[in-house]
Structure 1
């Protein structure tokens, strides 16, 4: 009896893991195609160096802005890609543009705008030191920042005062400060992207009409059928026919074909087949695409499936790493530890 519940737990965890991986994969694909990480970074840097435009900063304030403003906003804060090395004397008109001049060497795009999505704190600190050289030293750059009304003036002024005119201490201070800013940016990014993850999880749950409660029942049914087949196998075809006649009306006179049909369509295959479009692979011939729009819509509007949909939706919000850890605990899978000896 315990093995039945273990099979049920493992089956549910594997389903949640696979669907969570699908959600993560789609999200990562959208992020790469739309260059969201790069846009997010440079919008943040633009506000930090040049100041926010208008009353509101670039940071989305509502769920609607998360989906509409970030990937498809009218203004793209990313600088245009430039393969040339940084000039000796800056020609940029903004501080974010001057920063990009010092970061071109880590940009590997070939057209359009920059693809830089992460700036190492050490590289940022070196870039700031290069900018101070073009501005005539740290005091001169600080004065220019103050005149331009840059939000960067306050933090750099405090770091320079603490460094007591020591350029190396100033560089280390800038590096430590920027590392903290990147941590803050990561928290903001995850805060807004989780709404995208939630939307993708909801869409996939409804598209596959993944009723977790129904799926759990199907797993138990599979186990019951297997146990029934094993218990009656010694009785021959007649015993199987009496036990399984109602389960496979397509094969009334061939119990072995019935058993094959049942065991070849496990619970997960059945639950995935509830999507609007499914594929059936016959014994012979080409795969057949089936339209299940009517049955799919009936499942969505049926209140009996809503609790299962909610369970699936909230399960996907835990993410693939969570379900992978649960699966490892249930199955005893151990990760290979690196050999400490060279």
Structure 2
């Protein structure tokens, strides 16, 4: 069982990491939204999946389909013509859009096979020929398999996007740790010597109820006597690394520890900054 000091130190550290993680997540989401990173990443993924890097073939036709580019006119001839790039495409809608873009006679299953044979890209043609052969003459089976292929491709794309996002979050967290001198080692030492500082931390109503003001109530920030050191830089790195677990993770852990603290007495003592 945790003793009182250990529990308060843990609560203080976790509250710090949860606060920084939430701030970092908010900044990262704002940047991604402003730069439209998700929609751009999705477009690049579709172009790669359909072997259409110049956006002058199947990828363009899919994006011009009403099920995919429903907020545009459907007459884009280049990427720049798409005013509202989607940030998500339903796999079934992609499958329908792709088959509609290929077939010359809607509803004619025999002609669809000929249209697939006429596809210029050998890799996509081979893929769709296999799907067509396994469909048993049912167009729904083609839609289902194409949707599964698209979903698998988007899962790989999502993994790449998350890895890049993690890197951006780490950089943002490191900048925040440096700007506000959020040194994990100094924070731990101060909380260990003065656990009453963390005793005043209450459980936020939700994982989004973290603010910079609440964070600055902890022993962080710059003072006139603060001097940059290697240990301090390492403390920033620890803070930035810890925030990569995400605000929900730290918030859930904070909930458990605050409830555990509620079964005992809070430590007494003078607060220190």
Residue in structure 2 matched with residue 142 of structure 1 by the alignment: 116
For residues 59-101 of structure 1, the C-alpha deviation after alignment (integer angstroms, 9 at most, x for no partner) is xxxxxxxxxxxxxxxxxx7xxxxxxxxxxxxxxx521111012
**Which of 63, 66, 73 does residue 100 from structure 1 map onto?**
63
Contact 1:126 1:171 in 2 (8 A): yes
Q: Which has the larger radius of gyration?
A: 1
Gaps of 5+ in 1: 54-76, 78-92, 228-264, 275-291, 334-342
202-211 or 305-314, which moves further after superposition?
Answer: 305-314
Q: CA RMSD in A?
A: 3.2
Matched, 1:113 2:83: yes
Q: Distance in 2 between matches of 1:225 and 1:188?
A: 41
Where do 1:280-319 residues align within 5 Å? 295=224, 299=227, 301-319=228-246
Aligned-residue offset at 1:325 = 2.5
Matched, 1:199 2:171: yes
Where do 1:202-241 residues align within 5 Å? 202-223=174-195
Matched, 1:124 2:72: no
Q: Distance in 2 between matches of 1:47 and 1:267?
A: 43
**Distance 1:130-1:315 versus aligned 2 partners, 3 A rule:** same
Residue in structure 2 matched with residue 284 of structure 1 by the alignment: none
Instruction: Give the secondary structure class of the aligned counterpart of 1:219.
Output: helix
**Which of 238, 252, 258 does residue 325 from structure 1 map onto?**
252
Residue in structure 1 matched with residue 34 of structure 2 by the alignment: 33
Matched, 1:24 2:25: yes
**Distance 1:317-1:96 versus aligned 2 partners, 3 A rule:** same
Aligned-residue offset at 1:150 = 6.0
Larger relative contact order, structure 1 or 2 (CA cutoff 8 Å, min sep 6): 2
What is the TM-score of this pair, normalised by structure 1? 0.60
For residues 178-205 of structure 1, the C-alpha deviation after alignment (integer angstroms, 9 at most, x for no partner) is 2212212211211222221221122112
Q: Distance in 2 between matches of 1:151 and 1:201?
A: 42
Aligned-residue offset at 1:25 = 0.8
What count of residue pairs does the alignment treat as equivalent? 235
